[in-house]
A and B are shown apart, each in its own frame.
Chain A
């Protein structure tokens, strides 16, 4: 029973109040400031009423009632602290403490333990239990999660969270009675999402983190609320440090977009920037070719001198710049301002180029927004959700939690078009919740999306509003999809007419429909066109403009949305405004006191090729590592070697930084202030939680320092000072935090699109390229996102490396058996470009015709890939290749324990 809007009057401890009918008594009390003690209750979970700690007196009930499971009724009179209630609480605590080891001095929960706090508040100091305590044997659960079952109070919050919220069902309550304990299964090491939710939700110290075990007492920790720097979900995290050492990260119910939930990267990945190997001081290339430490003064003056010299010799367009979308908005804004205003070039790009830009371009074109028109709240309330190429549980785990809530609690119909099989295991797989799951073959999402559109047209599911408003648009699409045969769609994508029709029927009938598009679409050739086609689908089914409905593109990196809005992509100025938008240029000129250059822009790939042809002489690379992000055939190394001057701002000496002339040490996200804009479009505050590493400085400070040395000073007091300037230039940055409403679809843009705009590339968007089947004997090798990592950055985090420390080839279990390949076998991957030797792990999720390799560890296999560049958007695409697979029997390796 859900709460309703109707208010009822209840009296709690003598105070009358009004709460919505159906509110739980414990929540009604909380709203009045009355804390009813509890262990098993948690607002995220269905009431289980097992701990009996929250018993209260309710008039007209003969017995005490559990306030966590009883809902208010009009006129209800509740007493939460009568003698009878106090006695019951004391008894429950006495009973729990009876079997509790009281090892508080060595318990990581000591000092923030519900059992300690309630004992302190409600029980006499001496207990009467003088019998033998249960002793449960210690079990090793895994490298990062520790259980101490003697401390367990059997509230089952961990098991319930793992099931109800994470949908992983990885924890089991085993045994019966007092001997019940929490484990994975039998004596097996825990395999799960490793979200840390069980640790966070445990009211006592029964489940703790091995990363920080015995390292602290809670009151020694200094807390800072900031934003996780891995994926685009933008979760709020609380970083806890002691003596400037990162001790742990957790999250708070009710705070941030994640509302207390985290994924493995957020919870266990916080050590990425505290590795040995961080650049501590500026490095400069010496005469002998080595990089040696220098002073800030020398390094910055050298950079400034070089930039000025190159500009005066070759012109401003001899310099290009590229920044990672992991930087703060302030860093990125100042970077593009530096490049445009101080250097004088528009040759700027960022890692949003790897695919996110495809989505933003399509959104701007069709609906005139650069942000989602929906938010997490809309996902949770949706009754129809479609995921297209998202690998959501791995790529955007906290967005996945919203989808899980919508399905599991709200009963939403989920439709998944994903390049994986709906196999269930204790690592959550969003497709297992789907009402319609369509496995897309060979990454042919273009064909799959056309299948959906054809099914909409064939099935008469076109919304009457659009049919009446834009008949020519509807007719044009009808005609186009009529020209694509089901047979072709099925050959290419593997989706049948029946599958597509069933899926779109469900989706079209939804009242509130959210469509999420992920990396498998965004990071592929024709990605912009595919998103445009999905927006056509939204339009045809009437979901484009309906409040609560909308399409969202998922950001893989934490601040890709910010990168676009700060104008660090080739095609946009801050805003984002088109590079050639005169109004925007004028406004910027006024703010900046100097004009936006008129030179041509350049994408990352353009810059690489211009470097090779010699028109670019210097690159300013901030946190980006193109040597490692693109395959060898993209020629990044050759490009860097042909440049006269390369500056890198970096945390580590990456493959790219190693080739720079000057390396400037940058602060990690833990060491600086600023803002990130998450994939939904919420601008959130990033706060410094530990001191800067060595002499490293925030990226923006270096731009500012260089600008002074280059005689065009851009001086700011701090990151907030930059944000003040951003507010004047970029809409949507006035209020921070998750309060803002999502933007509405721009009606003028839609009208333009459905009358003329759609025609420009209609034939290209609605024509299928022929399938290129792998040559016989070959398999398709795909680089995929792992849940346990984010880009390459996370592969420096010790917690995440404990969980996944190497890349292994994932092969479909049944397919592998047919090939005579078993778990831990070593295989050789061969194609015309080279070969790689990798070990194998079997998975039921990998479709039979594909093998997967985690992109985070792609050094091992990168040689096998070739890149292609999207001619429309300049997006480099290279995540798929064909390989032959040969077994290397003699050196079968055992997995590291």
Chain B
């Protein structure tokens, strides 16, 4: 069972809302976090927990583009392709990623490590081009930077270039060093 180890989380989640169905998106997000995508097994469990029918779960799940109903790569690279990032070179990055990672028709590499998607605005337009990999944002990207990120992820599963709390224009003092 997908949610067995999250009984407490789910109970707390349900306590936040007067209507159970409100916990649907949080649970779908949790399912995706747990399994990398929203499986049919997870949707069945969610339907049972929230007293919903499966079509009710499914129609909500398919509305939101961050939810993937099929398995995807370990690292989901989502490159912003909206105008603001495109003005500062996002299309080139996307092309670079496609050339270097060679994802298949479903966007995922043969080794199932990376899935590359072009997505709409990530809300980081001052620091474009930007991409999101799983939970983290990577901003003010260049091809060299993307190359390093990909190789870091391949090697260590993480990358220090991930953004901290957003601050733009940057503060000059040391405390703000986490900013991009």
Query: Does any Cβ of B come within 8 Å of A172's Cβ?
Result: yes
Do A170 and B63 have beta carbons less than 8 Å apart? Answer: no
Contact with B along A157-183 (1 / 0, CB 8 A): 001000000001111111110000001
Smallest CB gap from B65: residue in A: A176
Complex: how many Å from CA A199 to CA B58? 21
Of the listed residues B58, B63, B69, the one surrounded by the most CB atoms of chain A closer than 10 A to its CB is B58
Do A185 and B55 have beta carbons less than 8 Å apart? Answer: yes
- When distances are taken between beta carbons in the complex, the residues of chain A under 8 Å from B40 are 186
Do A185 and B52 have beta carbons less than 8 Å apart? Answer: no
Do B51 and A170 have beta carbons less than 8 Å apart? Answer: no
Query: Does any Cβ of A come within 8 Å of B10's Cβ?
Result: no
* Contact partner, B69, options A159, A169, A186, A426, Cβ 8 Å: A186
Do B51 and A172 have beta carbons less than 8 Å apart? Answer: no
Query: Does any Cβ of B come within 8 Å of A744's Cβ?
Result: no
Of the listed residues B43, B62, B63, B65, the one surrounded by the most CB atoms of chain A closer than 10 A to its CB is B62
Query: Does any Cβ of A come within 8 Å of B54's Cβ?
Result: yes
> What are the 7 A-B residue pairs with the smallest beta carbon separation, nearest first?
A172-B55, A172-B59, A185-B58, A169-B53, A185-B54, A174-B62, A185-B55
Do A185 and B57 have beta carbons less than 8 Å apart? Answer: yes
Query: Does any Cβ of A come within 8 Å of B9's Cβ?
Result: no
- When distances are taken between beta carbons in the complex, the residues of chain B under 8 Å from A184 are 54-55
Complex: how many Å from CA A432 to CA B56? 15
Write 18 A-B pairs (CB below 8 A) sorted by A numbering.
Answer: A159-B59, A168-B53, A169-B52, A170-B55, A171-B55, A172-B55, A172-B58, A173-B59, A176-B62, A185-B43, A185-B57, A185-B58, A186-B54, A186-B58, A188-B54, A424-B52, A426-B53, A432-B51
Query: Does any Cβ of B come within 8 Å of A425's Cβ?
Result: yes
Complex: how many Å from CA A184 to CA B58? 9
Contact with A along B44-71 (1 / 0, CB 8 A): 0000000111111111001101000100
Smallest CB gap from B55: residue in A: A172
Residues 63-120 (chain B) with a chain A CB within 8 angstroms: 63, 65, 69
Q: How far is the CB of B43 from chain A (nearest CB, A)?
A: 7
- When distances are taken between beta carbons in the complex, the residues of chain B under 8 Å from A172 are 55-56, 58-59, 62
Q: How far is the CB of A180 from chain B (nearest CB, A)?
A: 9
Do B55 and A424 have beta carbons less than 8 Å apart? Answer: no
Do A176 and B55 have beta carbons less than 8 Å apart? Answer: no
Contact with A along B138-162 (1 / 0, CB 8 A): 0000000000000000000000000
Do A169 and B55 have beta carbons less than 8 Å apart? Answer: yes
Complex: how many Å from CA A170 to CA B55? 6
Complex: how many Å from CA A168 to CA B54? 11
Residues 806-827 (chain A) with a chain B CB within 8 angstroms: none
Query: Known contacts A185-B43, A186-B40, A186-B69; is A426 also within 8 Å of B54 by CB?
Result: yes
- When distances are taken between beta carbons in the complex, the residues of chain B under 8 Å from A432 are 51
Complex: how many Å from CA A183 to CA B62? 12
Q: How far is the CB of A393 from chain B (nearest CB, A)?
A: 14
Q: How far is the CB of A428 from chain B (nearest CB, A)?
A: 10
Complex: how many Å from CA A830 to CA B58? 42
Query: Known contacts A185-B43, A186-B69; is A426 also within 8 Å of B55 by CB?
Result: yes
- When distances are taken between beta carbons in the complex, the residues of chain A under 8 Å from B43 are 185-186
Complex: how many Å from CA A751 to CA B54? 53
Q: What total of chain A residues lie within 8 Å of the partner, measured CB to CB?
A: 19
* A contact set with B: CB distance below 8 Å: 159, 168-176, 183-186, 188, 424-426, 432
Q: How far is the CB of A723 from chain B (nearest CB, A)?
A: 46
- When distances are taken between beta carbons in the complex, the residues of chain A under 8 Å from B56 are 169, 172
Q: How far is the CB of A593 from chain B (nearest CB, A)?
A: 62
Complex: how many Å from CA A186 to CA B40? 8
Complex: how many Å from CA A188 to CA B59? 13
- When distances are taken between beta carbons in the complex, the residues of chain A under 8 Å from B53 are 168-170, 424-426
Complex: how many Å from CA A185 to CA B53? 9
Complex: how many Å from CA A172 to CA B59? 5
- When distances are taken between beta carbons in the complex, the residues of chain B under 8 Å from A424 are 51-53
Complex: how many Å from CA A426 to CA B57? 12
Smallest CB gap from A175: residue in B: B62
- When distances are taken between beta carbons in the complex, the residues of chain B under 8 Å from A173 are 59
Q: How far is the CB of A554 from chain B (nearest CB, A)?
A: 26
Complex: how many Å from CA A485 to CA B65? 59
Known: A168-B53, A172-B56, A184-B55. 7 other contacts (CB 8 A): A169-B52, A172-B59, A172-B62, A175-B62, A175-B63, A186-B43, A424-B52
- When distances are taken between beta carbons in the complex, the residues of chain B under 8 Å from A425 are 53
- When distances are taken between beta carbons in the complex, the residues of chain A under 8 Å from B59 are 159, 172-174, 185
Do B54 and A176 have beta carbons less than 8 Å apart? Answer: no
Complex: how many Å from CA A174 to CA B55? 9
- When distances are taken between beta carbons in the complex, the residues of chain B under 8 Å from A176 are 62-63, 65
Of the listed residues B43, B56, B63, the one surrounded by the most CB atoms of chain A closer than 10 A to its CB is B56
Complex: how many Å from CA A169 to CA B51? 12
Complex: how many Å from CA A426 to CA B51? 11
Complex: how many Å from CA A553 to CA B63? 45
Q: How far is the CB of B149 from chain A (nearest CB, A)?
A: 30
Complex: how many Å from CA A183 to CA B54? 11
Complex: how many Å from CA A424 to CA B69? 23
Complex: how many Å from CA A176 to CA B67? 13
Complex: how many Å from CA A753 to CA B63? 61
Q: How far is the CB of A13 from chain B (nearest CB, A)?
A: 39
Complex: how many Å from CA A424 to CA B62? 21
- When distances are taken between beta carbons in the complex, the residues of chain B under 8 Å from A171 are 55
Smallest CB gap from A162: residue in B: B55
Smallest CB gap from A179: residue in B: B62
Q: How far is the CB of A386 from chain B (nearest CB, A)?
A: 22
Q: How far is the CB of B44 from chain A (nearest CB, A)?
A: 10
Complex: how many Å from CA A175 to CA B64? 8
Smallest CB gap from A159: residue in B: B59
Complex: how many Å from CA A541 to CA B57? 42
Smallest CB gap from A422: residue in B: B51
Complex: how many Å from CA A871 to CA B112? 73
Complex: how many Å from CA A424 to CA B51? 7
- When distances are taken between beta carbons in the complex, the residues of chain B under 8 Å from A174 are 58-59, 62
- When distances are taken between beta carbons in the complex, the residues of chain B under 8 Å from A159 are 59
- When distances are taken between beta carbons in the complex, the residues of chain A under 8 Å from B55 are 169-172, 183-185, 426
Complex: how many Å from CA A130 to CA B43? 40
- When distances are taken between beta carbons in the complex, the residues of chain B under 8 Å from A188 are 54
Complex: how many Å from CA A170 to CA B40? 16
Q: How far is the CB of A433 from chain B (nearest CB, A)?
A: 12
- When distances are taken between beta carbons in the complex, the residues of chain A under 8 Å from B57 are 185
Complex: how many Å from CA A426 to CA B69? 21
Complex: how many Å from CA A173 to CA B65? 15
Complex: how many Å from CA A170 to CA B58? 11
Contact with A along B115-143 (1 / 0, CB 8 A): 00000000000000000000000000000
Smallest CB gap from B57: residue in A: A185
Of the listed residues B43, B52, B63, the one surrounded by the most CB atoms of chain A closer than 10 A to its CB is B63
Smallest CB gap from A426: residue in B: B53
Complex: how many Å from CA A425 to CA B63? 21
Complex: how many Å from CA A185 to CA B55? 5
Of the listed residues B40, B57, B58, B59, the one surrounded by the most CB atoms of chain A closer than 10 A to its CB is B59
- When distances are taken between beta carbons in the complex, the residues of chain B under 8 Å from A175 are 62-63
Complex: how many Å from CA A133 to CA B52? 34
Q: How far is the CB of A598 from chain B (nearest CB, A)?
A: 60
- When distances are taken between beta carbons in the complex, the residues of chain B under 8 Å from A185 are 43, 54-55, 57-59
Complex: how many Å from CA A186 to CA B55? 8
Q: How far is the CB of A190 from chain B (nearest CB, A)?
A: 9
Complex: how many Å from CA A119 to CA B10? 51
Q: How far is the CB of A491 from chain B (nearest CB, A)?
A: 30
Q: How far is the CB of B37 from chain A (nearest CB, A)?
A: 13
Contact with A along B12-44 (1 / 0, CB 8 A): 000000000000000000000000000010010
Of the listed residues A171, A172, A174, the one surrounded by the most CB atoms of chain B closer than 10 A to its CB is A172
Complex: how many Å from CA A126 to CA B52? 46
Smallest CB gap from B47: residue in A: A424
Of the listed residues A168, A173, A185, A186, the one surrounded by the most CB atoms of chain B closer than 10 A to its CB is A185
Q: How far is the CB of B25 from chain A (nearest CB, A)?
A: 15
Q: How far is the CB of A473 from chain B (nearest CB, A)?
A: 42
- When distances are taken between beta carbons in the complex, the residues of chain A under 8 Å from B65 are 176
